[in-house]
Amino acid sequence: MNQLTDTFKLYNGARIPGVGFGTWQIPSGETTVNSVKKAIEAGYRHIDTAADYGNEGSVGQAIKESGVNREDLFLTSKLWNTDRGYEETKAAFEETVKKLGTDYLDLYLIHFPANAAQYDNWNEINLETWKAMTELYQAGKIKAIGVSNFKIHHLESLVQTEVKPMVNQIEYHAGFTQDEVVDYSKNHDILVEAWSPIGSGRLLENESLKEIAQKYDKTVAQLCIRYVLQNDILPLPKSVTPERIEENTHLFDFEITDEDMKAIDAMENIGYSGMDPDEIDF
């Protein structure tokens, strides 16, 4: 990968620009519109939003105002937890595309699996939801479908369906790499996307990361995003700060050595969000 718009190829042949712009916690309105427009201006062609973020309308507005054609952008949204189920998923999808001002999505993800802590029939709920996602995909309304925050036991029944997930978006960053679910996903041709590639900012003051970043004359944010890419995982950095949005695109003029990759691999348990998909109660 040599530039922001180089792509990963999903198993169905769809191509996905290798770095996406994250929009979690960006308030709807001016802040989202300006941040997404700035990201597109800086070269991002892949935007990651979700119904739960409450900013789909503003993301749609930014896309319109950007002057870049819809078909030249890769747009992801996610189905929220209160909309799981067959009919509910179809209705939520329509609501999402309406808010985004588009008639299709490039990628639609189940935001969180139904879990055993909340539902006896959690697997059934996930399969019903997946059935609706599959039908929307087969109808051509979504170019690729996937999941988010799914662990191996959540994925096991979905990979046996007619259309298995193409993407699993999980928390992944230096200090928290979830190797087992990453290996399982990769072994099933499921692309892994990294949410919080800089640990939502929690990695920025880490002394070891600072030291390594300095060697390359890069910032910790750039090092962390590059670390994800070098592991063949798709990073989704977020920022509302124009200079940082720009900074986070300068990832292709350095390469982390094997030795430094190993040193980062060895940094366990830093920056973890604490959000375990098996334990969430929302």
Which residues are the active-site residues? 53
The footprint of ligand NAP on residues 41-70 (CB under 6 A) is: 48
Is 219 near ligand NAP (CB under 6 A)? yes
Is 178 near ligand NAP (CB under 6 A)? no
Is 31 near ligand NAP (CB under 6 A)? no
Is 4 near ligand NAP (CB under 6 A)? no
Beta-carbon-side half-sphere exposure of residue 137 (alpha carbons within 13 Å): 21
Stretch that binds ligand NAP, among 83-91, 100-108, 191-199, 255-263 (CB under 6 A): 191-199
Q: Which is nearer to ligand NAP, 120 or 207 (CB)?
A: 207
Is 114 near ligand NAP (CB under 6 A)? no
Distance CA 110, CA 130 (A): 8
Among 148, 178, 185, 206, binds ligand NAP (CB under 6 A): 148
Say which residues have a Cβ less than 8 Å from residue 86's Cβ, sequence separation at least 6. Answer: 128, 129, 131, 132
Q: In whole angstroms, how close is the CB of 201 to ligand NAP at the nearest point?
A: 4
212, two tokens: 């390594």
150, two tokens: 């799914």
175, two tokens: 């200090």
Per-residue interface string for the shown chain with ligand NAP, residues 151-170, x marking contact by CB under 6 A:
------------------x-
Among 55, 96, 115, 149, binds ligand NAP (CB under 6 A): 149
Q: Which of helix, strand or coil describes residue 234?
A: strand
Buried b (16+ CB within 10 A) or exposed e, 251-265: beeeebeeebbebbe
71, two tokens: 């078909």
Count Cβ atoms below 10 Å from residue 189 Cβ, excluding itself.
13
Is 18 near ligand NAP (CB under 6 A)? no
Residue 131 burial by Cβ neighbours in a 10 Å radius (0-12, 13-18, 19+): middle
Is 27 near ligand NAP (CB under 6 A)? no
| Inter-residue contact 237 to 203 (CB < 8 Å) | no
Is 206 near ligand NAP (CB under 6 A)? no
Is 28 near ligand NAP (CB under 6 A)? no
Is 238 near ligand NAP (CB under 6 A)? yes
Residues in contact with ligand NAP by the rule CB under 6 A: 22-25, 48, 111, 148-149, 169, 195-201, 204, 219, 221, 236-241, 244, 247-248
